[in-house]
Amino acid sequence: MEGRTPYQMALEQLNKCAKIMKLDPNVHEMLKYPKRVLTVNVPVRMDDGRIKVFTGYRSQHNDALGPFKGGVRYHPNVSVEEVMALSIWMTWKCSVAGIPLGGGKGGIICDPKKLSPGELERLSRGYFAAIRNIVGPDMDIPAPDVNTGGREMAWFLDEYNKYKGCNNPGVVTGKPLEIGGSLGRTEATGRGLSIVAREAARRLGIDFKKSDVAVQGFGNVGYYSAKFMQEFGCRIVALSDSKGGVYNPNGIDVEALLAYKQKSGKLSGFPGSKEVTNEEVLEVPCDILIPAALENQITKENAGRVKARLVLEGANGPTTPEADEMLFKRGIVVIPDILANAGGVSTSYFEWVQNGQNYYWTYDEVLQKLDKLMTAAFANVWESYKKYNVEMRMAAYICAIERVTAAMKVKGWC
């Protein structure tokens, strides 16, 4: 897929699935295109008094299952083709998770590191004012993404409520707790990944509670994945961040490692461990491997050296298509990102539900509901995996497309 735009990649995946599952050609044609793509130009008064215009987008792919859902990213490389592709992938992610939401995505072409807090706030409010007529709790629910978080969601919410003359927290998710956020959202992706790992291990005959786990990445997803899997009884044998990693076949205490990093600013030098590179973490002997750092980490160059029996994609796109095929031929099961890291969007759905009923759940209730949802999602994908005899990635896409197709047909769209 080298040289292709993200949108072309999304279409290739759709075409491949359509062929395997003999998808209705009319449904296939409709799923190729977002329902709506809005381009907005947002004038922002900069701190020095000049006006600078920023271009932003909101792509709404398919809402057969429910309102559009997806993040808003701030990045210099944002493009209309990128947000179109991401909105398609969000349709599949929501569908495979079994939640009643469709796929949307937004972005603004900017470098947030070069903007002051005041400029960022004016840009955020201007963008949301510009898209306000196509978003809302029953239409499209944005969320944080690359370079955005709770702060930006609070600005979005306030701007929407100001224009609409209401106080409706359900227009965005990923909000601070003080204004309708959900407990458990911060750790949701890592928690969901650990649940999927448990379910996959059970079906593959891996003793989950005695399994050795290597995790590439020690950010939010990597840390919480390791933390929860250690709580399940797994032995964490390797961990890394952008500066390098550590390996200990006898196990690493995740909380002690976090404390060490907070004090020293690095993982290397952790007592009792051997220093390894970010790349070497992918190749250590283990039962379960979690690439939770960046895209394109497992490639055709190193796929032959992966020793795990099970790979779970904590990051988005950490395995290249060529590596995917190599691992599949070697009998290594790869749980794709749209299933493995769907705990985040699932808990965003929980936040939206809580906002709608104005009643908020306890932390334990959120985790219980997440466990039930992710367990069911994995079971559905596993069924497709067995039925079509394809790699888990294709099985997940097929499972998602089947659900969207059924909703489209029931509604009489085709």
Is residue 269 very low, low, confident or very high in pLDDT (cuts 50, 70, 90)? Answer: confident
Mean pLDDT rounded to a whole number for the chain: 94
Q: Of 367, 366, 404, 398, which is closest to residue 382 (Cα–Cα)? A: 398
List the CATH code of the domain at 188-340: 3.40.50.720
Q: Looking up tokens 């055709």, which residue turns up?
A: 300
What is the per-residue pLDDT across 116-133, written as a single tens digit (0 to 9) for each? 999 999 999 999 999 999
Q: Please state the domain extents for the chain.
A: 7-15+28-170, 188-340
DSSP 279-321: HHHTTSS-SEEEE-S-SS-B-TTTGGG---SEEE--SSS-B-H
38 - beta bridge partners?
58
Sheet hosting strand 68-75, strand order edge to edge? 36-45, 51-62, 102-109, 68-75, 140-144
| Per-residue model confidence as pLDDT tens digits over 9-63 | 889 889 999 999 999 999 999 999 999 999 999 999 999 999 999 999 999 999 9
What's the CATH architecture for 7-15+28-170? Answer: 3-Layer(aba) Sandwich (3.40)
Does the pLDDT value for residue 184 go beyond 60?
A: yes
Tens of pLDDT, residues 272-329: 889 998 889 999 999 999 999 877 889 899 999 999 999 999 988 888 888 988 999 9
For the chain, what percent of residues have pLDDT higher than 90? Answer: 83
Q: Is 32 a catalytic residue?
A: no
pLDDT in tens, 194-234: 999 999 999 999 999 999 999 999 988 899 999 999 999 99
The set of residues, in sequence order, having a beta carbon less than 8 Å from that of 377 and lying 6+ positions away, is 96, 97, 98, 196, 339, 342
Domains 7-15+28-170 and 188-340 share a fold: yes
Is a pLDDT exceeding 90 seen at residue 2? no
C-alpha 403/C-alpha 413 separation (Å) is 14
Give residue 258's pLDDT band: very low, low, confident or very high (50, 70, 90). very high
Q: Which tens digit of pLDDT belongs to each residue from 74-94?
A: 999 999 999 999 999 999 999
Query: Above 70 in pLDDT, residue 3?
Result: no
Q: Torsions phi, psi of 103, nearest 5?
A: -110, 130
Q: Is the pLDDT of residue 4 over 90?
A: no
Q: In this predicted structure, what is the pLDDT of residue 146? A: 85
Count of beta carbons in the 10 Å neighbourhood of residue 27:
18
Give the helix, strand, coil percentages of the chain, each rounded to 5: 50, 20, 30
Angle at 27 between CA 23 and CA 31, to 5 degrees: 110
Question: Kind and range of the H or E element at 361?
Answer: none
Residue tagged active-site, from 105, 175, 227, 261:
105
Helix/strand/coil (H/E/C) assignment for every residue in 141-206: EEEECCCCCHHHHHHHHHHHHHHHCCCCHHHCCCCCHHHCCCCCCCCHHHHHHHHHHHHHHHHHCC
User: What b/e sequence results for 357-386 when a residue is b if at least 16 CB atoms lie within 10 Å of its CB, and e otherwise?
Assistant: eeebbeeeebbebbbebbeebbebbbebbe
With residue 108 as reference, give the H or E element that holds it: strand 102-109
Predicted local distance difference test score (pLDDT) of residue 1: 44
Query: Average pLDDT, stretch 347-356?
Result: 97
pLDDT band at 346 (very low <50, low <70, confident <90, very high): very high
Q: Does the pLDDT at position 377 exceed 90?
A: yes
- How many helices (H) does the chain have, and how many strands (E)? 14, 12
Residue pair 209/236 in contact (Cβ under 8 Å)? The answer is no
